[in-house]
Amino acid sequence: MHFALTDDQRAIRDSVQAFLQEAAGLDRLRSTIEADAGWDAELWHNLAVDMGYAGLMVPEAYGGIGGGAVDMALVLEETGARLAMAPFFETAVLGVQTILGAGTEAQKRSLLPGLADGSTKATLALTGPQGRPAPDGVTAWLRAEEGAWRLSGESCFVPFAHVADLLLVAARAPLSAGPRGISLLALPRDATGLRVERQPGLDPTRPLCRLTFDTVAVAPDQILGRAEEAGPVLERILATAAGLLAAEQTGGAAFCLATTVEYAQQRVQFGRKIASFQAVKHELADMMVAVEAARSAALYAAAAIDTDTDLLEACSAAKSWCSDAYRHCAGETIQLHGGIGFTWEHHAHLYFKRAWSSSAWLGDPAHHRERVARLMGLDDIP
């Protein structure tokens, strides 16, 4: 595991950074939020189609760039910093990892090229209305009725499902529990009996949807891999996704720090810049410690994904640390801006809401710490 970035990696980071600085400013984000579409189609097109980064982790054999998780982490740090309002993480990470992890060779061949070239937007539906982490939280049902598969129930908190072309859905067999009986399905958004409804969400930059399944007919080739046996691969897919979400969170936290430093250097009270007050300096210093550690944690997770060593622990470590760090930094961003930080007009609340929504998504910090506790052997007999 080497921690110096390669020239290629630096080029990736710089290209995304330069592009998003131009194309994804806060004003544009605001107008995207206020428009009804719930996403920035042009931004998606640039990022996914023109730059090809939706296919960054898709192997070349399936039409992608064949890059690794470290490359992806660098891109996600930038999309996270800008709250890029497009189903990028959903497609390039959740979609790609789910199909790569669970699909048969034929399914990879038929599905991945569309994701890689940006023509297919994907997302992953996991949990029921209580939002418990998968696999326990999976509540949609898949059962065989007279030799045909039928999907019923619902899936909630599904990001960007309203614009996704391909819905990947986790479902479980009747009476199954935990990781047993889990299937992963790949359904078109217009499948008969499938309804997508936008839910009013706290975080306006990552719109959430509810999916209801009214005995949707599922063809055998719409089941990724083998029916009812996807539990173990799902664990790994979700760990990978959590580890990469940590990179996105790092980018958000770093943006909060940078903009707060900038503000503190401008705002004058008591005849001094507020940046000269030690209480303010020390808070900013603590934010920097949290951000740099978050960056280490996210890179560590990405490297662990690429080398397949300590993957589960590294990803859980990163997701819990980076969630906490982002929440802290976004909260202090409001605090250090004072009244203006509490307004609808200011960007602080957008980052704050993203921090909390991404913290709860794909397992909250306590959930991931509990996984680390198990992995570090706390339940082994002494």
Q: Which is nearer to other proteins, 173 or 360 (CB)?
A: 360
Cα distances from 251 to residues 71, 88, 123, 132, 133, in angstroms, run 14, 15, 21, 26, 24
- Site for other proteins (CB under 8 A): which residue of 77, 90, 313, 364? 313
CA 111 to CA 121: how far, in whole Å? 11
On the CB side of 36, how many CA atoms lie within 13 Å of its CA?
A: 0
Question: Near other proteins by CB under 8 A, which window of 178-186, 199-207, 235-243, 259-267?
Answer: 259-267
Residue closer to other proteins by CB (options 107, 260) is 260
Task: Out of 240, 259, 320, 359, name the contact with other proteins by CB under 8 A.
Answer: 320
- 273 makes contact with other proteins (CB under 8 A): yes
Q: How far is the CB of 128 from other proteins (least distance, A)?
A: 24
Check: CB of residue 297 under 8 Å from CB of residue 318. Answer: yes
| Nearest to other proteins of 169, 299 (CB atom) | 299
C-alpha–C-alpha distance, residues 318 and 343, integer Å: 31
Nearer Cβ to other proteins (192/278): 278
* Residues near other proteins (CB under 8 A), total: 45
Is 295 near other proteins (CB under 8 A)?
Answer: yes
Tokens of 52: 């090809």
Least gap, CB of 275 to other proteins (angstroms)? 5
d(CA 143, CA 215): 10
7 vs 146, beta carbon nearer other proteins: 7
Contact by Cβ (8 Å): 261, 125? no
Among 39, 44, 149, 300, binds other proteins (CB under 8 A): 300
132 touches other proteins by CB under 8 A:
no
Q: What are phi and psi of 348, to 5 degrees?
A: -55, -40
Q: How far is the CB of 364 from other proteins (least distance, A)?
A: 12
End-to-end Cα distance, the chain: 32
Among 314, 329, 334, 350, binds other proteins (CB under 8 A): 314
Q: At what angle do helices 311-337 and 365-375 cross, to 10 degrees?
A: 150
Which helix (H) or strand (E) segment holds residue 13: the answer is: helix 7-23
Decide if residue 285 touches other proteins (CB under 8 A).
yes
Non-local (6+) Cβ contacts of 373 within 8 A are none
Length of the chain: 382
Q: Alpha-carbon distance 351 to 347, whole Å?
A: 7
CB of 245 to other proteins, least distance (A): 16
Among 23, 261, 267, 360, binds other proteins (CB under 8 A): 261
317 interacts with other proteins by CB under 8 A? yes
Kindly list the residues in this chain that would bind other proteins in the complex (CB under 8 A).
1-4, 261, 264-265, 272-273, 275-276, 278, 281-282, 284-286, 288-289, 292-293, 295-297, 299-300, 307, 313-314, 316-317, 320-321, 366, 369-370, 372-373, 376-382
